[in-house]
A = this chain, B = another copy of it.
């Protein structure tokens, strides 16, 4: 049998554990005699279509071992939506020309909802044209908003970083004997999964955050101010977690409808939602208000990654290889929680078409009546996902990360 090569690509935002999925793919492919080279798209499909290809087969063992602990994505990514091939065949022709040239039999595309749309479309085209190639999706997103799967690799590590940092901020916010409010912003443009994870920061010794506001609920500034005001009757330091995508009752982002700030050049500034909410507290309740944004740290903090998350990221990569070798195509891996106590997951396979472009909101059953927090049921859902520590390889007690293939 003639040996073929495989191709790994990614699209969408990075996570702390995407490289672990690559490692899962690479390790499993290497056990397979029929696959020779492991190519990667440099900067996702967009880079690949420009001919940007990396040969990961050459990467040495030490570097490969570092993948499990390296955040971001060493091969790069893109935000690129491939058109329907009935509308525009150009990308497809280019893609399969390159695939043929590189003798690629298997494609692994790591990503979220949009990436699964790409998997679906490329697979459909290949089937229609009778191109013998297997294309499989590998899930990742810190947003945790893919449907079908119980949760997404990348989410657990972001959740752990958020919970850990909120614990630390909550303690920091209580050192002075003054009323103060900390507004802490997480990512989550459409869904509240990340903000909700901050509930884990609460324990018997200190309940914090006091409130969590989610994009799934209509956000009312007056209710928010009232919540904080009431809580301030009981305690001096208030910690609030807000999801960046908070919307008002008309479905408008709070940032868009309430920011009139202008910068130096008279541009309208669209700050974060936490920053936007600062004056509503400062002018009504207390002068000491701070907005804190976790920014890209929440998706890049490999030093605070979840062991469970990292292992699952590896696992979905491994299973993706088994899937293509079994002749499957057009599917994506997903996680099924078969048991919560003890926590146990199985990798299942779902048609990429089914999850493509869909968004899984935080279900109502997890949100409290007052719409300013999440309940115990959600805690039970998220807690297993942040378990396990990871051994970080160090040089001088700073993380030893793998070299980025995107940097010359």
Instruction: Report A251-295 residues with CB < 8 Å from chain B CB.
Output: 258-267, 269, 276, 278-280, 283, 290, 292-293, 295
A181 adjacent to chain B (CB < 8 Å)? no
Q: How far is the CA of A235 from the CA of B404 in the complex (A)?
A: 14
Contact B169–A296 (Cβ < 8 Å)? yes
Contact B72–A171 (Cβ < 8 Å)? yes
Interface string of A29-63 (1 = CB under 8 A from B): 00000000000001100110000000000000000
Most buried by B among A173, A177, A200: A177
A118 adjacent to chain B (CB < 8 Å)? no
| CB-defined contacts of A68 to chain B, threshold 8 Å | none
Given contacts A176-B43, A296-B169, contact A398 B303 (CB under 8 A): no
Q: How far is the CA of A264 from the CA of B201 in the complex (A)?
A: 31
A325 adjacent to chain B (CB < 8 Å)? no
Closest to A73 in B: B175
Closest to A75 in B: B175
| CB-defined contacts of A359 to chain B, threshold 8 Å | none
A172 adjacent to chain B (CB < 8 Å)? yes
Closest to A163 in B: B398
A186 adjacent to chain B (CB < 8 Å)? no
Given contacts A205-B403, A262-B262, A264-B260, contact A296 B177 (CB under 8 A): no
A160 adjacent to chain B (CB < 8 Å)? yes
Q: How far is the CA of A78 from the CA of B177 in the complex (A)?
A: 7
A377 adjacent to chain B (CB < 8 Å)? no
Write the nearest CB–CB distance from A310 to chain B, whole angstroms: 12
Q: How far is the CA of A262 from the CA of B263 in the complex (A)?
A: 8
| CB-defined contacts of A401 to chain B, threshold 8 Å | 167, 171, 205-206
| CB-defined contacts of A263 to chain B, threshold 8 Å | 259-261, 278-279
Interface string of A224-255 (1 = CB under 8 A from B): 00000000000100000000000000000000
Given contacts A43-B177, A76-B176, contact A261 B262 (CB under 8 A): yes
A326 adjacent to chain B (CB < 8 Å)? no
Contact A300–B171 (Cβ < 8 Å)? yes
Most buried by B among A168, A266, A267, A307: A168
Partner of A264, one of B174, B203, B264, B279: B279
A395 adjacent to chain B (CB < 8 Å)? yes
| CB-defined contacts of A302 to chain B, threshold 8 Å | 168
A386 adjacent to chain B (CB < 8 Å)? yes
Given contacts A46-B177, A300-B168, contact A261 B265 (CB under 8 A): no
Closest to A296 in B: B172
Q: How far is the CA of A300 from the CA of B166 in the complex (A)?
A: 10
Contact A395–B203 (Cβ < 8 Å)? yes
Partner of A176, one of B78, B267, B398: B78
Contact A398–B201 (Cβ < 8 Å)? yes
Write the nearest CB–CB distance from A176 to chain B, whole angstroms: 6
Contact B404–A172 (Cβ < 8 Å)? no
A370 adjacent to chain B (CB < 8 Å)? no
Instruction: Report A370-408 residues with CB < 8 Å from chain B CB.
Output: 383, 386-389, 394-399, 401-404, 406-407
Contact A397–B388 (Cβ < 8 Å)? yes
Write the nearest CB–CB distance from A274 to chain B, whole angstroms: 11
| CB-defined contacts of A176 to chain B, threshold 8 Å | 43, 76-79
Q: How far is the CA of A275 from the CA of B171 in the complex (A)?
A: 26
Closest to A400 in B: B203
Closest to A237 in B: B407
Interface string of A158-192 (1 = CB under 8 A from B): 00100111011101111111000000000000000
7 shortest A-B CB distances, which residue pairs?
A: A72-B171, A43-B177, A168-B300, A172-B300, A205-B403, A172-B296, A14-B175
